[in-house]
Amino acid sequence: MSDDDLPVPATRRSHVIRLGVFVAFLLGLFYLVAVARVVDVDDVRRVVTAAGPAAPLAYVVVSALLGAIFVPGPILAAGSGVLFGPVLGTFVTLFSAIGTACIAALVGRRAGRDGARSLMGPERADRMDAQVQRRGLWAVVGQRFVPGISDALASYAFGAFGVPLWHMAVGAFIGSAPRAFVYTALGASIGDLSAPLAYTAIGVWCVTAVVGAVAAHRGFRAWRGRKQP
């Protein structure tokens, strides 16, 4: 019997249960990788270095996958800086971030889309879809500027809410560029954090953090204003 043959409440319950299992899985994965640190990034760098001339491409692929399982982006970016320097390393980091965003969004859409729509209900879900089509790209860009939010977790959520894949790719490219430079440059400057490159990276980080915090505050106030009668 397919979902179409089931009563509506049973179908909705199955979608919500699947969403709950997916969220629990992501939280467990986040703890193991981001908190318990079961993945050794130093080992990853050694393996990538063995790829020789193909090392930058290999690091893009490996870093994108590791980012999707919650290996902290700043650590991966710093590793890119150590391996490839500030210029090439920044591009490696940036394309890795785009890859992570697309992977997480695809998985989020596949595993959580039906559950998210079931929780919201048809009317609210349709309104959300309309908002996503109009503003999904800039929502992704804005999220990347807000400090303290896991890009992978946000990408899973964006996928569950139906943000188009091209929004994820372009939004990650625009929004991740400043931090890609920051963390890669700091990794490249690890032997001399008093170098001008390190100070420049710290300055860029401060500017993007302030912009992100202000944008998040204004967005929250606008949302509260729409909620009030």
Strand ranges (DSSP E) for 53-211? none
Structure tokens at 201: 């990276």
User: d(Cα 229, Cα 207) in Å, to the nearest integer?
Assistant: 35
pLDDT of amino acid 4: 46
Its pTM surpasses 0.85: no
Helix (H) or strand (E) holding 129: helix 122-145
Averaged pLDDT, 17-33? 75
Q: How many domains does the chain have?
A: 1
- Select the more confidently predicted residue: 184 or 19: 184
Q: At 111, which amino acid appears? A: A
Task: Go through 87-107 and write b for each residue having 16 or more CB atoms within 10 A of its CB, e for each that does not.
Answer: eebbbbbbbbbbbbbbbbbbb
Range of the domain at 27: 3-227
Averaged pLDDT, 114-129? 69
User: d(Cα 183, Cα 142) in Å, to the nearest integer?
Assistant: 18
pLDDT of amino acid 2: 44
Averaged pLDDT, 158-168? 89
